[in-house]
């Protein structure tokens, strides 16, 4: 009785404190994330154009219809998808390989980990400028010289960033170099969570190295792997900094991307409706990737 009487003001104070504690974050998320997002959705159904004297109209899906009839936008979509289809598997496999190589006690492990992670702390703008230099055209460019050496003299110098066939692959390589260390650290931490007994048990059952990798390592890494794939796919669709600095979307739209097109539409041409519509498409793509991956995790969990 007296306990309940003492509880009541405590509970009220707790309720007030809860709201008060959450209030700044609540305001921030509502004003700077949810609000602008809803604004983008609303604007994408209008013909809002900066500097246009005409009144703004609701025009339904016109901005979307125009997007999907626009070869440049479709090219951007294809570029992003292609980027994801190459970078996600390559980067994940390479990160997993490095993590496996490092997953045993060694005096040099800390040093290697530092080296592989180092590019992650580099701002993308700096990375982009350095790689513009490494991709210098002509035989004295670093990448050209390396290819010449690796191909035993068969490689002829190319201008990577101005070559429609090579510009996007060049951006891919730069991104893999910058992002691999992050994935490697996540996977290495995942590897260290797998109990040694499981490997022992598999060994007792006569499993070879490949069987142990297939039946112990991979299932044990499921969550970190899904996370790494998810994050890399999302980053592939966010591609912007490298494009802006290294290629400006060229040559011939070979490297333009969703975000680059959105920024160009809204800022260079004042076409706010188009920019907003691209933002919404971008969000739907990212959400789709996230949902598919979430589903994959859940199904695998049910199977396990």
Partner 1 sequence: MRRTLTTGLRHAALLVSAAAFLAPVAFLVVGSFKPEGRILADAGSWRAFFPAHWTLDNYRDVFARVDFVRFLLNSLLINGAMVLSGLAVNSLAAYALARLRWAGRPFVLGLVLATLVVPFEAIAVPLFYGLSAIGWRDDWSVQVVPFVANPLSIWLFYVFFAGLPRELEEAARVDGAGVLRTFLTVVVPNARAAFATVAIVTLLFYWGMYLWPLLMTAGPHARPLPLAIATFYTLPPLRWGDILAFGTLMVAPVLLLFILFQRAFVRGVAATGIKG
| Subset of residues 242 to 301 that bind partner 1, contact rule: CB under 8 A | 244-245, 259, 262-263, 266-267, 272, 275-276, 279-280, 282-283, 286-287, 290
Find the binder of partner 1 among 82, 119, 169, 250 (CB under 8 A): 119
Between CA 75 and CA 70 the distance in angstroms is: 9
Task: Please report how close the Cβ of residue 294 comes to partner 1 at its closest, in angstroms.
Answer: 10
Candidate segments 71-79, 160-168, 175-183, 194-202, binder of partner 1 by CB under 8 A? 175-183
Q: Can you read off the two tokens belonging to residue 302?
A: 């049910």
By CB under 8 A, what part of segment 61-80 binds partner 1?
A: none
Between CA 254 and CA 167 the distance in angstroms is: 7
Q: Is 124 in the site for partner 1 (CB under 8 A)?
A: yes
**Cβ-contact 96, 181 below 8 angstroms:** no
Cβ atoms within 10 Å of 266's Cβ, excluding its own:
20
CA atoms within 13 A on the CB side of 174: 30
Find the binder of partner 1 among 182, 229, 256, 261 (CB under 8 A): 182
Find the binder of partner 1 among 1, 8, 121, 304 (CB under 8 A): 121
Backbone angles phi, psi at 253, to 5 degrees: 65, 15
Task: Please report how close the Cβ of residue 241 comes to partner 1 at its closest, in angstroms.
Answer: 5
Q: Is 160 in the site for partner 1 (CB under 8 A)?
A: no
Q: Which is nearer to partner 1, 168 or 230 (CB)?
A: 230
Task: Please report how close the Cβ of residue 264 comes to partner 1 at its closest, in angstroms.
Answer: 11
List alpha helices for 30-122, DSSP H. 35-43, 62-69, 71-102, 109-117
CA atoms within 13 A on the CB side of 28: 5
**Cβ-contact 172, 83 below 8 angstroms:** yes
By CB under 8 A, what part of segment 3-32 binds partner 1?
A: 11, 13-19, 21-22, 24-32
Task: Please report how close the Cβ of residue 253 comes to partner 1 at its closest, in angstroms.
Answer: 19
Q: Is 131 in the site for partner 1 (CB under 8 A)?
A: yes
**Cβ-contact 107, 114 below 8 angstroms:** no
Candidate segments 56-64, 72-80, 197-205, 220-228, binder of partner 1 by CB under 8 A? 220-228
Q: Is 150 in the site for partner 1 (CB under 8 A)?
A: no
Q: Is 133 in the site for partner 1 (CB under 8 A)?
A: yes
Beta-carbon contacts of residue 46 (< 8 Å; ≥ 6 apart): 56, 57, 58, 59, 63, 273
């Amino acid at each position: 009785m007296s306990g309940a009487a003492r509880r009541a003001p405590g509970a009220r104070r707790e309720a007030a404190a809860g709201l008060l504690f959450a209030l700044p974050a609540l305001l921030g998320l509502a004003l700077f994330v949810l609000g602008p997002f809803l604004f983008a959705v609303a604007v994408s159904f209008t013909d809002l154009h900066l500097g246009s004297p005409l009144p703004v109209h609701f025009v339904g899906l016109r901005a979307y219809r125009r997007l999907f009839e626009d070869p440049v936008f479709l090219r951007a979509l294809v570029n992003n998808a292609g980027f994801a289809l190459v970078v996600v598997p390559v980067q994940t496999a390479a990160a997993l390989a490095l993590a496996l190589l490092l997953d045993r006690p060694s005096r040099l492990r800390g040093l290697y980990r530092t080296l592989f992670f180092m590019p992650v702390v580099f701002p993308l703008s700096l990375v982009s400028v350095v790689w513009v230099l490494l991709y210098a055209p002509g035989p004295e460019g670093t990448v050209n010289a390396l290819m010449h050496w690796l191909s035993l003299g068969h490689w002829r110098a190319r201008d990577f960033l101005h070559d429609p066939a090579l510009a996007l692959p060049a951006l891919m390589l730069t991104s893999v170099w910058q992002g691999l260390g992050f994935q490697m650290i996540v996977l290495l931490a995942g590897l260290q969570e797998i109990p040694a007994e499981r490997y022992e048990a598999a060994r007792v059952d006569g499993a070879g190295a490949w069987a142990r990798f297939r039946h112990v390592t991979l299932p044990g890494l499921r969550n970190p792997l899904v996370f790494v794939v998810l994050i890399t796919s999302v980053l592939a669709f966010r591609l912007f900094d490298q494009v802006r600095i290294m290629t400006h979307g060229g040559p011939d739209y070979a490297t333009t991307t969703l975000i680059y097109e959105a920024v160009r539409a809204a800022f260079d041409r004042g076409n706010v409706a188009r920019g907003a519509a691209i933002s919404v498409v971008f969000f739907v793509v990212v959400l789709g990737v996230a949902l598919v991956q979430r589903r994959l995790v859940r199904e695998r969990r049910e199977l396990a």
